[in-house]
Amino acid sequence: MATRIAVVTGGNKGIGFGIVRELCGNFDGKVYLTARDEGRGRAAIEELSKVGLSAHFHQLDVDDAESIANLADYIKKTYGGFDVLVNNAAIAYKNAATEPFAEQAENTIRVNYFGTLAVCHALFPLLRPHARVATVSSSCGHLSRINGSEPQATALRNKFGSPTLTEQELGDLMNQFIIKAKEGTWKEAGWPNSTYVVSKVGVSALTRIQQRAFDADQRPDMVVNSCHPGYVDTDMTSHRGPMTIKQGAVCPSYLAMLPPDIKEPRGAYLWHDKQVVDWVNGSTPSIV
């Protein structure tokens, strides 16, 4: 039996670090903590070792094509493939950020959506049968958060929620938002007043597309889901979240370790309590 391998992006702090810690204690195999900064990544590995947990490090910047290629090459040459991918790496501008909205839109969508997509493109071919992919979305990633001017917002939601939406069409939607942000007409076009919301709706929608592709894949039992991990006390939330990092790691870790041949969830959007939420027509539970 080949050694089972799990990879967590953005794993040196916050929820990503919590997920690595959870996997180290429960995943039957090697866990790779990845981070943009090697020093911070190796410091996180050392923190885990202090509590008796063993993780491995590899540098990964989801916004750097060469970095992504290096990780893919390493996994292929060292292990031939891997079993679990947790897409956690993301950025978020603070409410008080002074950068122009257009700049925030371009950077946030590039990293959170297109960076995640690039990692998937590079690593999905290396996934072994029965692989599990967990993408950390957000309460902001529910389709109902596309709530700009009507009827344009309804038209956008219909496009995002289409069961036949393609990856190309989704990428076009992401780029359309950036264009409208640069024009200063994003609200009138139906988009919300948050670049982070659009990026997370994007990765939630991508999950649904990816599961359809997995269902048609020759490799059996490939599963991808996204989740809202909860409003967690991290740097990203300016430490306003009431939930602990350990609590925030629960649902992503659960999705990363779903048992073989599970019927559901598959291509779903889950809340932090592991509840499957209707992403297209439903509403979100409490925002905690």
Pinpoint the alpha helices (H) of the chain.
14-26, 38-50, 65-79, 101-108, 116-123, 152-161, 167-183, 195-215, 245-248, 250-256
Q: Is 196 a catalytic residue?
A: yes
Region for 225 from its dihedrals, namely left if φ exceeds 0, alpha if ψ lies in -120 to 50, beta otherwise: beta
CA distance 152 to 142: 17
CB neighbours (10 Å) of residue 167? Answer: 16
Distance set, CA 85 to CA 53, 74, 133, 284 (Å): 19, 15, 5, 25
196, 231, 254, 269: which one is catalytic? 196
d(CA 142, CA 11): 24
- List, by residue number, the catalytic residues: 196
